[in-house]
């Protein structure tokens, strides 16, 4: 084995180890991210109504800690454990001052650069999003001098408790004939309703790209596709099949036309990683060194054997499930609008951009290694497939037991 091949082997192995370590951290942190939903609409007397939805247990713990309200913590956590929606709402109603103060200190509205004054516009309501208890809090904002150029800033969570790793706020609005959506996070905590269309769409492109980059389960699935593809046409067909499938279910689920419980989606995503990686291992066991055979240079047509078509079918089916996972991460449940549709498309484009970048970097390296040394290529891709398959099975068991 040449020095270059050995260096490539070491580099790729280090990459796989890094992926797997990141994946383990991701699995342990699963459930420690949260999404806040905020809808903006006109209210009576020229005021602005914001309807906020926050994850119930996180809200209770954070508000109680911030406002030093031990009674809210005891009653709120007890209501959460009981699972009774009425009891949950009552716990917050009994501690309205602490709960509302926590929100209004971290969520604000300004008009023409001047702060708007909040007031509670109704009682607390509780419900569920994807099987997780959420609380709804309506607030009215009185803005000095009228509406003006409205801006929203959200710094809700994470707080001093330290167990929340990341929060995004999905904002939707319908004001003065304008409608749209925006995605806020710790890096970009505010937006203006006067933002240009390309600024709003960039937020969703970035959100899509970040979701794939931080979603190690989706990256490992893609890595399994790359490792199991012997030639460029196979990875092109596999990636296209995956893209078409997850794009369909992503759009349907994000628009509220399809609703599959997270208890089903998450374990199946983990299982898909193990199956796709295991497919290549099965081919190695069956064909040995010939599993790495490459097509002659003159063959450019996309011919596939029966196993190849079966693999595409499996990838397509699992892609449908991954699309549900992407949609769950976005979590928009706003009324239909062309602006919303374009936001969803841009979010999906951000996912695809990162996916193509990973393929463009990793697959040529593996292909070059295979052409220089069939045995080295076999060991590297085999090691990747084993690692990915094991992680998929571990996550599958964890997610089944976690629901």
On the question of pLDDT at 357 being above 70, the answer is yes
Render pLDDT for 8-19 as a digit per residue (tens, 0 to 9): 444 544 454 444
- Please state the domain extents for the chain: 3-30+212-402, 34-195
What is the reported pLDDT for 162?
A: 60
What is the reported pLDDT for 339?
A: 61
What is the reported pLDDT for 284?
A: 67
Which range, of 36-50, 244-258, 298-312, averages the lowest pLDDT? Answer: 298-312
Q: How far apart are CA 251 and CA 323, in angstroms?
A: 8
Average pLDDT over residues 261-285: 82
What is the reported pLDDT for 352?
A: 84
What is the reported pLDDT for 306?
A: 66
What is the reported pLDDT for 25?
A: 38
What is the reported pLDDT for 154?
A: 93
What is the reported pLDDT for 20?
A: 46
Average pLDDT over residues 351-369: 85
User: 172 - beta bridge partners?
Assistant: 39, 181
Tokens of 261: 């419980």
Three-state SS letters, the chain: CCHHHHHHHHHHHHHHHHHHHHHHHHHHHCCCEEEEEEEEEECHHHCEEEEEEEEHHHHHHHHHHHCCCHHHHHHHHHHHHHCCHHHHHHHHHCCHHHHHHHHHCCEEEEECCEECEEEECCCCEEEEECCEEEEEEEEEEECCCCCCCEEEEECCCCCCCCCCCEEEEEEEEEECCEEEEEEECCCCCEEECCCCHHHHHHHHHHHHHHHHHHCHHHHHHHHHHHHCCCCHHHHHHHHHHHHHHHHHHHHHHHCCCCCCCHHHHHHHHHHHHHHHHHHHHHHHHHHHHHHHCCCCCCCCCCCCCHHHHHHHHHHHHHHHHHHHHHHHHHCCCCCCCHHHHHHHHHHHHHHHHHHHHHHHHHHHHHHHHHHHCHHHHHHHHHHHHHHHHHHHHHHHHHHHHHC
Render pLDDT for 169-220 as a digit per residue (tens, 0 to 9): 888 887 877 777 777 888 788 888 766 666 667 777 887 787 778 778 778 8
What is the reported pLDDT for 250?
A: 79
What is the reported pLDDT for 73?
A: 92
Question: Do residues 125 and 56 touch, judged by C-beta distance below 8 A?
Answer: no
Average pLDDT over residues 44-72: 91
Average pLDDT over residues 14-31: 42
What is the reported pLDDT for 328?
A: 64
Q: What's the mean pLDDT when you consider all of the chain?
A: 78
On the question of pLDDT at 31 being above 50, the answer is no
Using a pLDDT cut of 70, give the percent of the chain over it. Answer: 76
On the question of pLDDT at 321 being above 70, the answer is yes
What is the reported pLDDT for 298?
A: 44
- Please give the model's pTM, rounded to 2 decimal places: 0.59
What is the reported pLDDT for 54?
A: 94
What is the reported pLDDT for 279?
A: 79
On the question of pLDDT at 28 being above 70, the answer is no
């Amino acid at each position: 084995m040449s020095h270059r091949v050995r260096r490539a082997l070491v580099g790729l192995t280090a990459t796989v180890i890094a992926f797997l370590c990141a994946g383990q951290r991701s699995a342990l942190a699963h459930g420690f991210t949260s999404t806040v939903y905020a809808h903006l609409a006109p209210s009576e007397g020229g005021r602005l109504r914001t309807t906020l939805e926050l994850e119930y247990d996180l809200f209770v713990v954070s508000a109680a800690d911030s406002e030093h309200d031990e009674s809210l913590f005891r009653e709120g956590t007890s209501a959460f454990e009981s699972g009774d929606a009425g009891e949950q709402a009552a716990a917050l109603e009994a501690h309205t001052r602490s709960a509302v103060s926590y929100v209004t200190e971290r969520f604000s509205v300004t008009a023409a650069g001047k702060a708007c004054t909040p007031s509670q516009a109704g009682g607390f309501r509780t419900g569920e999003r994807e099987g997780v208890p959420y609380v709804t809090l309506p607030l009215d904002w009185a803005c000095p001098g009228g509406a003006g150029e409205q801006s929203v800033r959200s710094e809700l969570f994470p707080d001093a408790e330290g167990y929340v790793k990341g929060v995004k706020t999905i904002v939707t609005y319908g004001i003065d004939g304008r409608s749209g959506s925006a995605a806020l996070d710790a890096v970009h905590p505010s937006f203006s309703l006067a933002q240009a269309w390309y600024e709003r769409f960039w937020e969703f492109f970035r959100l899509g790209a970040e979701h794939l980059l931080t979603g190690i389960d989706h990256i490992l699935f893609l890595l399994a596709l790359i490792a199991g593809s012997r030639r460029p046409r196979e990875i092109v067909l596999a990636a296209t099949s995956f893209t078409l499938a997850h794009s369909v279910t992503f759009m349907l689920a994000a628009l509220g036309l399809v609703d599959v419980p997270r208890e089903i989606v998450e374990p199946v995503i983990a299982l898909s990683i193990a199956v796709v990686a295991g497919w290549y291992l099965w081919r190695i066991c069956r064909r040995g060194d010939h599993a790495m055979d490459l097509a002659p240079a003159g063959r450019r047509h996309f011919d596939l054997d029966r196993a190849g078509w079966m693999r595409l079918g499996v990838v397509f089916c699992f892609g449908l499930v991954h699309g549900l996972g992407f949609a769950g991460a976005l979590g928009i449940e706003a009324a239909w609008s062309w602006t919303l549709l374009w936001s969803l498309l841009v979010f999906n484009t951000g996912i695809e951009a990162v996916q193509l970048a990973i393929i463009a970097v990793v697959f040529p390296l593996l292909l070059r290694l295979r052409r220089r040394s069939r045995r080295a290529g076999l060991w590297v891709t085999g090691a990747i497939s084993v690692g990915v398959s094991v992680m998929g099975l571990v996550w599958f068991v964890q997610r089944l037991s976690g629901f």
